[in-house]
Amino acid sequence: MRRAIFLIATMTGLSASAQQSRTVCLAAPSSLTPSSWRSPAVATTQPKGGLKLVREIPLPGPANRFDYQTVDPATGRIYMNHMNAGRTIVFDANGGKVITEITDLPRATGVLAVPSHHQVYVSAAGAHEVAIIDDRTLKVIARVGGIRFPDGIAYAAEANKVFVSDEAGGTDVVIDPNTMKKRSTIDLGGEVGNTHYDSVSHCILVAVQTKDQLVAIDPVSERIVQRYDLPGSDNPHGFTLDEPGRLAFITSEGNGKLQVVDLRTMKVLQSLKVPDDPDVLAWDPSLRWLYVASESGALSAFWLDGNTLRPIGEVRAPHAHTVSVDPRTHLVYLPLENVNGRPVLRIFEPNR
C-alpha cells in the first residue's frame, strides 16, 4: 500500500464527534510527512562554532551516573535524572540553582514534563515502574508498575496519552494521564530505545534497537502502523526530531554513528562518526544546533546547514552521558557524575 494510512479512533471514553475531529497517525511505507507539508524558511548564517563554559555548579548527591533530562520552558525548570542515586534533581534555570531533589526513584532513566497536566513522568527502572510527580508540589502522586525497564517517555498531545519505552520488555507502555493508570502494552518485537512524539505526522516514533528500525505507532489506536529500516545503524537508541524540517537525528550505540534521516522519504541522508557510546541528544530549533552526549567522554555540537550537519565543536568531559538545551536562552546543560569526587553541572553557551 503506497498511500498514507489514516486510522479512525475507537478508543473507550472518546465521543463520536471527538473521534472524528482528532488527527491520527499518518504513516506510509515511504514517508512520515503529509504531501502538502512545506518546511518553513530558516536562517542559514554559519555560526562561529564551539561552546563556552559560563558556569559550573555543584550538584547534590553521590558521584554517580546521570541519565535523561527534560526542560519545561514555561516554568524555567530542568528535571535531571540522577540515575544511580535514584533521584530527580529539579533545577531552576532562571535562578541558576537547585530547587530540590525528588527521591525514591530507583535507577531513574527517562523523564518528561507534561505541563498541561502539571505532571512530570520519571522512569524508575530499578522499581520497574513509572513515577508521576505533581509539578506544583514536587511530590510523587502515582506509580505505574509492571514495566521491566522503563526508559524514554513521550506525550501525544492530540491523543492525550503518555508512551514509555520498556527497553528490556520490548514494548511501549501507554499511560492515561487523567487516571494515571496503564492503558495498554504495544509489542515492538525487540529491545527498545527512545520514544518521541512527532506532531507533524501525529505518530509516536520508537527506536527498536535490536532490529535497527524506527517504528511508527498511531497513538489513538495504540497500534504499529509502519516500520522503517535504518541501514548502517547498529543498535539505534537515542534520537531527536527537527519536526518542521522533517528530519530525525539518530545515534547508534553499537558503532558510534549519528544519522540524519529524511522523514519525507525515510532515507538516510548523512552518517557521521561520533565518540563511542552516544546516547542523549538535544536540539535547539531556532539556532539549528544539535548536541550529542557520549558516555565515552565528549559532548559534540553540530550546525544544521540545510539538511546537512556540520561539526562545529566538541567538549571533552568525563562520562558526558546526558545533555539538555534551554530553547529560550540557548544555554546547554551538561551534568557530570564525578568531577574531583562530586557531581557537577556545567553550563555552556554557543559561540554564535
The CATH number linked to 224 is 2.130.10.10
Measured CA to CA, the distance from residue 65 to residue 219 in angstroms comes to 32
Which residues face 47 on adjacent strands?
none
pTM of the shown model: 0.93
Contact 300, 292 (CB under 8 A): yes
**Could you report the per-residue pLDDT of 225-266, keeping only the tens digit for each?**
999 999 999 999 999 999 999 999 999 999 999 999 999 999
Give the burial class of 116: count Cβ atoms within 10 A of its Cβ; 0-12 exposed, 13-18 middle, 19 or more buried: exposed
Number of CB atoms found within 10 A of residue 199's CB: 14
**Could you report the per-residue pLDDT of 174-215, keeping only the tens digit for each?**
999 999 999 999 999 999 999 999 999 999 999 999 999 999
Tell me the chain's radius of gyration from C-alpha atoms. 19
Helix (H) or strand (E) holding 19: helix 16-21
In a domain, 142, yes or no: yes
In a domain, 7, yes or no: no
In a domain, 151, yes or no: yes
In a domain, 40, yes or no: no
In a domain, 236, yes or no: yes
Number of CB atoms found within 10 A of residue 286's CB: 10
Which residues face 206 on adjacent strands?
195, 215
**Could you report the per-residue pLDDT of 37-49, keeping only the tens digit for each?**
999 988 677 788 8
For the chain, counts of helices (H) and of strands (E):
1, 28
Domain that holds residue 29: 16-34+48-350
Give the burial class of 319: count Cβ atoms within 10 A of its Cβ; 0-12 exposed, 13-18 middle, 19 or more buried: buried
- Overall domain count for the chain: 1
